[in-house]
Structure 1
Amino acid sequence: MKTVLMTVLLAGVVGIGMVGSASAADKAMTPQQQRMTTCNQQATSQTLKGDERKTYMSNCLKNSQSAPAEKSLTPQQQKMKECNAEAGKQTLSGDARKTFMSNCLKKQVK
């Protein structure tokens, strides 16, 4: 009888632990946790192992190997990128580059 009672109590304690774990799993994941899950699934689908997997995960988490649709820039970041590329094409430097960048960034994003 004592064994049955101890088993029931132990099952109750384990059951409470599982309920606590389930509620923790129900919480929304942070963007980093979502990214980690996505990268992990991609690495698994590509059957990467060892150092190759580590490198892939590192790059994926840094967002350098993700699909362009996944990498989202704010409109301001996009504008800076475009202006910087244009200044590079024109080989501007010093004050001329600063002036160009200032004027370019002041233009309204289309």
Structure 2
Amino acid sequence: MKITLLVTLLFSLFSLAPAGAQDKQPTPQQQRMTTCNQQATAQALKGDSRKTYMSDCLKNSSSKPAEKSLTPQQQKMRECNVQATEQSLKGDDRNKFMSGCLKKSV
């Protein structure tokens, strides 16, 4: 009787353990780590270059690893600069446009 109860108990414990593990989703950090690791492997990076790449990749989660992430002010500056170039503004006109563009709220 005790053996049957023990076997049943052990069987139920082992059958429940994998079900809980399958339901768990990786955290955003774990997903980022996996993605960065796959990219580093695809580029065949080794040693210090891999460490540097992984560090940069994990820090810059919102942008591509090779790009430096920009502050909101730098992003606004980039957008205003593109608009001024599209309008072919030069000299004082460009300065006035950039000043007004950068003062606008995001």
Q: What is the TM-score normalised by the length of structure 2?
A: 0.51
Which residue pairs with 1:58 in the alignment? 55
TM-fit CA distance, 1:78: 2.7
Aligned equivalent of 1:22: 22
Flag structure 1 segments of 5+ consecutive residues without an equivalent. 87-96
- Cα distance, 1:24 vs. partner? 1.1
Partner of 1:78: 75
Q: Which one of 30, 41, 45 corresponds to residue 44 of structure 1?
A: 41
Show the counterpart of 1:104: 101
Instruction: Provide the rounded CA distance (Å) in 1 between the counterparts of 2:102 and 2:13.
Output: 61
% identical aligned pairs:
61
Question: What residue number does 2:10 align with?
Answer: 10
What count of residue pairs does the alignment treat as equivalent?
A: 91
Contact preservation (8 Å) 2:40, 2:53: yes
8 A contact 2:80–2:98 mirrored in 1 = yes
Mind listing any 5+ residue stretches in structure 2 that lack a counterpart?
85-94
**CA 1:14–1:49 in 2, change beyond 3 Å: closer, same or farther?**
farther
> Separation in 2 of the partners of 1:24 and 1:65?
27
Displacement of 1:22 in angstroms is 0.9
- Tell me the alpha carbon deviations over residues 46-96 of structure 1, each in whole angstroms, 9 at most, x when there is no partner: 34344332211101112376266xx887x9753233558x9xxxxxxxxxx
